[in-house]
Amino acid sequence: MTMTVELQAPAVATPQTARAPWLTRLARPLLGLLLPLSLALAWELLVWAGWSNGRLVPPPSKVFTTIADLARSGELTRHIVTTLSRVGIGFGLGVAAGTLLGGICGYWRMARRLVDPTIQALRAIPSIAWVPLFILWLGIFETSKVALIAVGVFFPVYLGLTGAILSVDRKIVEVGRIFRLSGPAMIRRILLPAVLPAYVVSLRVGLGLGWMFVVAAEFMGASEGLGYLLIDGQQLGKPAQIVAAIVIFAIIGKATDWLLEIATAPLLRWQDSFARQSGAA
Amino acid sequence: MLQLTSVTKVYPNGVHALERFSAEIQLGEIIAIIGGSGCGKSTLLRAVAGLDRASAGTVTLDGETITAPHPKVGIIFQEPRLLPWLTVADNIGFGLSELPAAERRERVARALDRVGLADKAKVWPRELSGGQAQRVAIARALVAQPEVLLLDEPFSALDAFTRKDLQDHLLDLWADTRPTLVLVTHDVEEAVVLADRVLVMRPHPGRLFEEITINLSRPRDRNAPLFDQFKRHVLTALDRSLDRTVPDAQGRREPGGGLWW
């Protein structure tokens, strides 16, 4: 009895998967959109039917009109460019500092013993707590904002890189020793490629934190930028503008992460990633 | 000639891994080192490879003392240890970076062909089977044309069929340039099928127990009665080496008391 059931099961399943592989491939990401889209649609219908005035929670159509208006006046581009350049510069500085210090502390035990405890202690401070001090030191304009973003980006990059260097497989390093690689050759040919996957992950975490911190930075007295749109929307009672800014944050944040992923993908082609395996299946 | 003189290794935690081990190995000889766990066979190999320094005693190759990895000494580990970010061809050519690109390419291609993986040149290591990966590791070691090739339980992670296949293949490759092979193993059949001499070691502290010369012509028939007899001989020695009541009969010779122990 059991035998027949087990034998029948694949026979039933085969035509299902064979029917349209392209359809399932297309449908899979769409499946994730189902919930947010139907919620948005439901809310839109509720407001349209007059069951809610949608004043505090604007319907999607109103959010899109707001975005379109902002885009038409050229304001949107200005805000996006401002925020993007803050994140860009802060991310660049944070990555540079994190990579430099992380590399040094990962490679030299002496430097790690000297510097790492201090950095770990500083990491324990919630980064937002630096804001008043940064404003006093660097003024309320660009410098303090960029500095805050750079601090946010620095820690994951530093931690990711030192951790990655420390966890490089001793067995792989021995291969380098057997072939008598010099110090710089060992770094270039063994350590660098070995830490790259973890480093890329830390860059992406850093970028995510950069986007978090740009909002905090723009809350502290900015006159332009997407964070300013949020504050402005709150102070003038324009919830549609707030939601519009949030939507744009989400889109640009995801887009920059995607760009980073694309840019680093050729370096990690060799990886046997779980994602690729399941993607191929 | 590879000469080991009273090689002793005491680890910082006080463990005597190796106690006054001496041996003289001629160019082109195949030596198998066999013994129970903790008999210092891997320690010995790492000292010859120059990966770890001996606490006392010396390892010399053609009169040159080995204290660091030596260009004439190659090693194959238990795991293939291929670099996952390099293709198979680049892995094999890893140690040849000082050669001009054209010559490197040619030698890599020849090595790939020799281990029967010519079609895998552009493949990533993760796409290889265990046996294929170990063959790449063998090619990577041999392409540098070492005078001494050390093998640390190179086939122990493979299934029985692949293991037998690779043992024959190794002998085949060895015949090309006839380097000295020093093989650490815990597989009696492997030792008898490959080696000219089998050195049986005993643990705590690691030292030589018995030396058995395998004077069988190659290729060796694993099913021949004589082969079986040698296998039994090694097995008996191995059993005796682990029996604490058996005194050190063969191994404990003072240096100078007979270089051929």
- Three-state secondary structure of chain B: CEEEEEEEEECCCCCEEEEEEEEEECCCCEEEEEECCCCCHHHHHHHHHCCCCCCEEEEEECCEECCCCCCCEEEECCCCCCCCCCCHHHHHHHHHCCCCHHHHHHHHHHHHHHCCCHHHCCCCHHHCCHHHHHHHHHHHHHCCCCCEEEEECCCCCCCHHHHHHHHHHHHHHHHHHCCEEEEEECCHHHHHHHCCEEEEEECCCCEEEEEEECCCCCCCCCCCHHHHHHHHHHHHHHHHHHCCCCCCCCCCCCCCCCCCC
Q: Cβ separation of A271 and B84 shorter than 8 Å?
A: yes
Residue A4 confidence class, pLDDT cut points 50, 70, 90? very low
Predicted confidence at residue A27, as pLDDT, reads 77
- Rounded Cα distance between B14 and B164, Å, is 38
Q: Does B69 touch chain A (CB under 8 A)?
A: yes
What ipTM, to 2 d.p.?
A: 0.85
Give the pLDDT mean for A96-108.
94
- Looking at residue B252, what is its pLDDT? 42
The CA distance from A160 to A25, in Å, is 34
Cβ B51–A177 below 8 Å, yes or no? yes
pLDDT tens figures, B19-48:
888 999 999 999 999 988 878 888 899 999
**Looking at this protein, which amino acid is placed at residue A208?**
G
Q: Are B4 and B11 in contact (CB under 8 A)?
A: no
pLDDT over 60 (residue A281): no
Binned at pLDDT 50, 70 and 90, residue A18 comes out as: low
pLDDT at B256 over 60: no
- A179 → closest Cβ in B77, B95, B125: B95
pLDDT recorded at residue A11: 42
Chain B residues within 8 A of A264 when measuring between CB atoms:
none
Q: What is the pLDDT of residues B169-225, one digit of tens each?
A: 899 889 988 999 999 998 999 999 999 999 999 888 888 888 999 988 888 888 889
Segment A240-263 mean pLDDT: 92
Residues of A in contact with B53 (CB under 8 A): none
Q: What is the mean pLDDT of residues A152-173?
A: 94
Q: How far is B84 from chain A (nearest CA, A)?
A: 7
Of A32-36, A115-119, A178-182, B59-63, the range with the lowest mean pLDDT is: A32-36
Give the mean model confidence (pLDDT) for residues B148-164: 90
pLDDT of residue A12: 42
CA atoms within 13 A on the CB side of B242: 10
Q: Is pLDDT at B81 greater than 50 in this prediction? A: yes
Q: Report the pLDDT value the prediction gives residue B249, as an integer from 0 to 100.
A: 57
Inter-chain CB proximity B124 and A179 less than 8 Å: no
Average pLDDT over residues B11-17: 87
Q: What is the pLDDT of residue B206?
A: 85
Tell me which of B25-29, B237-241, B242-246 is least confident: B242-246
Name the percent of chain A lying above pLDDT 70.
89
State the average pLDDT over residues B73-88.
93
At A273, is the pLDDT very low, low, confident or very high (cuts 50, 70, 90)? low
Domains contained in chain B, CATH given: 2-82+145-242 (3.40.50.300)
Q: What is the pLDDT of residue A22?
A: 76
Question: Using the beta-carbon criterion (under 8 Å), do B74 and A178 form an inter-chain contact?
Answer: yes
Q: Which pLDDT score, from 0 to 100, does residue A14 have? A: 44
Q: How far is B179 from chain A (nearest CA, A)?
A: 17
Summarize the confidence of residues A106-114 as an average pLDDT: 92
Answer whether residue A148 shows pLDDT above 70: yes
**Picking from A262-276, B14-28, B71-85, B103-117, which range would have the lowest pLDDT averaged per residue?**
A262-276
Closest chain B CA to residue A267: B85
Any B CB within 8 A of A229 CB: no
**Of the candidates B61, B82, B63, B80, the residue with the CA atom closest to the CA atom of residue B72:** B61
Question: CA–CA separation, B221 vs A86, rounded Å?
Answer: 75
**CATH code for the structural domain at A60-268:** 1.10.3720.10
- Confirm or reject contact between A113 and chain B (CB < 8 A): no
CA B90 → CA A168, A247, B74, B121, B140, distances in Å?
Answer: 20, 47, 17, 8, 9
> What is residue A28's predicted lDDT score, i.e. its pLDDT?
77
Lowest average pLDDT, out of A215-224, A263-272, B22-31, B114-123, goes to A263-272
